[in-house]
Amino acid sequence: MNIGEAAAQSGVSAKMIRHYETLGLVKPVRRANNYRSYTAQNVAVLRFIRHARDLAFPLAEVKQLLALWQDEGRDSAEVRRIALSHVEALEEKARSMQAVAASLRHLADHAAGDGRPECPILDNMEGGRDDRRMAEAGD
């Protein structure tokens, strides 16, 4: 099948299929005319990658998981280790995002939101007017 058909069957765009090919994650057969030809196994690999990416695995870990998936003698403990490590990273990222949201909510709660130009949200993004005033005063 051609790349369009592989894309339709796998749910992965043709552009991403080419990218995954350059990374060595998927290896289509080259026909005599040098066109790519995708097999059912290639589509299965692309679906695997798509599902792993849907779970927010970074490409380096997708590559590891793909190798383990293709290895019938794999040690499932390694798969579990990768998955739990990813869970920890996701949980840390979630905590970080919650802290950012709380900070932004605090700034928004202290913004007048009226016609005046003073805005603590923009001041914070600038680095804080208090910091600039202290520098201007020579402190």
pLDDT digits (tens, 9 = 90+) for 13-71: 999 999 999 999 999 999 989 889 999 999 999 999 999 999 999 999 999 999 999 99
Q: Does domain 1-57 have CATH number 1.10.1660.10?
A: yes
**Are 4 and 38 within 8 A, CB to CB?**
no
What are the structural domain ranges in the chain?
1-57
Where b means 16+ CB within 10 Å and e means fewer, 114-128 reads: eeeeebbeebbeeee
Is the overall model pTM greater than 0.85, yes or no?
no
Determine the pLDDT at residue 139: 44
% of the chain exceeding 90 in pLDDT = 70
Helix residue ranges per DSSP H, 11-128: 14-22, 40-54, 59-70, 76-109, 120-126
Is a pLDDT exceeding 90 seen at residue 127? no
